Amino acid sequence: MMGLERSHSQMKPVAREEGQKMSLSVLEGMGFRVGQALGERLPRETLAFREELDVLKFLCKDLWVAVFQKQMDSLRTNHQGTYVLQDNSFPFLIRMSSGLQYVEEAPKFLAFTCGLLRGTLSTLGIKSLVTASVAALPACKFQVMIQRS
């Protein structure tokens, strides 16, 4: 483990960034697969959605409760296909720190969940891009941008 860290820090910053981007997309991809499958197994009767907003509300309530045993803290939208889902105490980050310590490490712990949201949306027939950002742990925001074709 120590050896691995050392070799990483010796890599050129550009190469390291590239490497991290790659591994984040692998994690995101795994989350996507899981989200897709999870979407199929969600209670059918609750899936009679008419509006996009209902689907997003469903993610914030039912999906989040199923996965993290809590609801999303807030949901905002610009009514043009961009949604911001905020969790003020995201379970994957809550044990890491409270504040700025380890804030650079946070993206690794969010990529999977971004994929999870995107995968579930995909099963529900919505194409999207999902990114996450952290200003201070353990709060984080997931931005969902709906892709219209």
Partner 1 sequence: MSRQTNRGTESKKMSSELFTLTYGALVTQLCKDYENDEDVNKQLDKMGYNIGVRLIEDFLARSNVGRCHDFRETADVIAKVAFKMYLGITPSITNWSPAGDEFSLILENNPLVDFVELPDNHSSLIYSNLLCGVLRGALEMVQMAVEAKFVQDTLKGDGVTEIRMRFIRRIEDNLPAGEE
Q: Which residues bind partner 1 (CB under 8 A)?
A: 1, 26, 29-31, 33-34, 37-38, 41, 43, 45, 65-67, 69
Residues ≥6 apart with Cβ < 8 Å to 75? 56, 57, 60, 83, 84, 85, 86
CB 59 within 8 A of CB 128: no
Q: How far is the CB of 60 from partner 1 (least distance, A)?
A: 15
Report the residue number, 53 or 66, with the smaller CB distance to partner 1.
66
Q: How far is the CB of 148 from partner 1 (least distance, A)?
A: 28
Report the residue number, 39 or 107, with the smaller CB distance to partner 1.
39
Q: What is the CA radius of gyration of the chain?
A: 16
